[in-house]
Structure 1
Amino acid sequence: MPRRTFSIAPLAFALATFAAPGLAAAQAVEVMKSPTCGCCTAWAEHMQHAGFDVALRDTPDDMLAQAKARLGITIATASCHTAMVEGYVIEGHVPAEDVRRLLAERPDAVGLSVPGMPIGSPGMEMGDAAEPYEVLLLRRDGGTEVFARHGTN
């Protein structure tokens, strides 16, 4: 082999070894949503723009309700779509930055929820209009705690 190949090989190995974590495949997010929900699709696009690998699954409303119940989503924590990422439930319009924090911290929890559909949350953008909202950590005991606040000073 030419000498140039040998001098580049260690550099290529080092780059592959040390850069690999930053180049890891995008985290897969599987989203169950009503076939007619546009804001769910907009949230999925928000997640894709943030680097997640999103798969949308149009799900009949009765099956979506059953899935939510099975995953521990209550009426108080429910929103319009339900997603799964690395074993965590993501309910509603949770910002990608909060999902990334959840995956980095790995709490012993069911997942995150933004109950309802707050104006200004990802997928619910309406011009400059925005209302404050909280992202809830869904604890395994059925309780919740505030994980993040958005739209507040």
Structure 2
Amino acid sequence: MARIQERNCTIIWKKPALFRRSVSGAALLVLAACSNVAQAATYTMFRDPGCGCCLNWAGHLEDGMNAKVASVDSNDMAAIKTARGVPEELWSCHTMEVDGYIIEGHVPAEAVARLLRERPDGVAGLAVPGMPLGSPGMEAGNRIQPYEVIAFGPTGQSVFASYR
């Protein structure tokens, strides 16, 4: 018999194999639900039609999150960024909307996934200001510039992740 003790209660399972299968099944359901977050969301990237690094970044996001990014060309990126509340000091070359969040610039897929998973209070989006070498979509051989992913929203800005 298997025994599980929790808060002064003892639960006795007569069939440990059944218990293990139940726990394994529940774990698989949780993992499947987490992976479906990326698949269920709509990823819409706005970009200047002359910018090639944006498509490279979209490919990084598609590979890293198992998602499909829709690309919308715009000749007025300033209007798109302003309308979505991206602070001007955080602007980069492309802007994406996903699941109620704004992603500005070359934000790594792992940071986007973390944002969608954790959903921190007061965060409207993430940004990598400028176009740092070595960030997703801006790969340049061995040249890498350290950069930070900035969380922004109505309460201000903070460092969400750092890459060196």
- Stretches of structure 2 lacking an aligned partner (at least 5 in a row): 1-24
- Stretches of structure 1 lacking an aligned partner (at least 5 in a row): 1-13
Of 25, 28, 33, the match for 1:21: 33
Of 71, 86, 111, the match for 1:56: 71
Aligned to 1:44: 58
User: Aligned pair in 2 of structure 1 residues 59, 23: CA closer, same or farther (>3 Å)?
Assistant: same
Aligned-residue Cα RMSD (Å) equals: 1.9
Are positions 1:79 and 2:92 aligned together? Answer: yes
Identity over the aligned pairs, expressed in percent?
46
Q: What letter is aligned with 1:101?
A: R
Deviation sequence 1:3-56 (CA, Å, 0-9, x none): xxxxxxxxxxx79x9375266371321100000100001000101111122111
Are positions 1:89 and 2:102 aligned together? Answer: yes
Aligned to 1:99: 112
CA separation in 1, counterparts of 2:89 and 2:47?
Answer: 18
* TM-score when normalising by structure 2: 0.76
Rg larger in 1 or in 2?
Answer: 2
CA separation in 2, counterparts of 1:71 and 1:138?
Answer: 12
CA separation in 1, counterparts of 2:99 and 2:34?
Answer: 18
* TM-score when normalising by structure 1: 0.81
Aligned to 2:130: 116
Aligned to 2:83: 70
